[in-house]
């Protein structure tokens, strides 16, 4: 396993509920990490530029699906209120990043007047003014 997950999973295991499910949670976590690492290695070592060849896309998709499913299994053993709080922090951070990016684009467009009349400006303004659409 190339991903540096061993210590991360070990640290997270203290939150597993009920405690009798630590082995199942550990297995799900390691299986998710292994499937993700398989996909990473495959992209790095086996894929070339251009279209997918026979079975390549299916192999990647199957590894990513296995990773997702095992990750969801792993997260089922975590306290749900903590997961919801973490998700909220990530979502708030994402909205903040979008705001910063949109402001940066608008300033750049203002400085370079040649882009001010495009539909791109309107799209950026809509994102900035109506973040609830995210």
Give the model's pLDDT for residue 63. Answer: 92
**3 in the same domain as 69:** yes
Quote the mean pLDDT of the chain.
75
Give the model's pLDDT for residue 108. Answer: 62
> Does pTM surpass 0.75?
no
**66 in the same domain as 5:** yes
Q: Distance (Å, rounded) from C-alpha 67 to C-alpha 32?
A: 4
Q: Report the number of distinct structural domains present in the chain.
A: 2
**73 in the same domain as 27:** yes
Give the model's pLDDT for residue 99. Answer: 67
Give the model's pLDDT for residue 134. Answer: 44
Q: What is the mean pLDDT of residues 106-113?
A: 59
**13 in the same domain as 73:** yes
Among 78, 98, 115, give the residue marking a domain's end. Answer: 78
In this structure, the number of other CB atoms found within 10 A of the CB of residue 104 comes to: 11
Q: Distance (Å, rounded) from C-alpha 71 to C-alpha 42?
A: 20
All residues at 6 or more sequence positions from 113 whose CB lies less than 8 Å from its CB, including other chains: none
Q: Which long-range contacts (CB under 8 A, 24 or more apart) does 60-67 make?
A: 63/35, 63/36, 63/38, 63/39, 64/35, 64/36, 64/39, 66/31, 66/32, 66/35, 67/32, 67/33, 67/35, 67/36, 67/39
Among 31, 48, 78, give the residue marking a domain's end. Answer: 78
Provide the domain limits for residue 101: 80-134
The tokens describing 110, both together, are 């203002």
Residue 65 or residue 53, greater confidence:
65
Residue 119 or residue 22, greater confidence:
22
């Amino acid at each position: 396993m190339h991903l540096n997950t061993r210590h991360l999973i070990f640290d997270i295991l203290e939150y597993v509920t009920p405690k009798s499910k630590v082995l199942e949670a550990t297995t799900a976590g390691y299986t998710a990490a292994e499937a993700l690492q398989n996909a990473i290695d495959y992209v790095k070592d086996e894929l070339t530029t251009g279209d997918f060849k026979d079975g390549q896309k299916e192999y990647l998709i199957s590894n990513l699906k296995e990773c997702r499913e095992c990750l969801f299994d792993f997260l089922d053993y975590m306290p749900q209120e903590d997961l919801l709080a973490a998700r909220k922090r990530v979502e708030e951070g994402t909205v903040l990043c979008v705001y910063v990016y949109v402001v940066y684009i608008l300033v750049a467009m203002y400085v370079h007047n040649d882009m001010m009349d495009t539909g791109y400006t309107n799209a950026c303004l809509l994102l900035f003014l109506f973040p609830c659409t995210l």
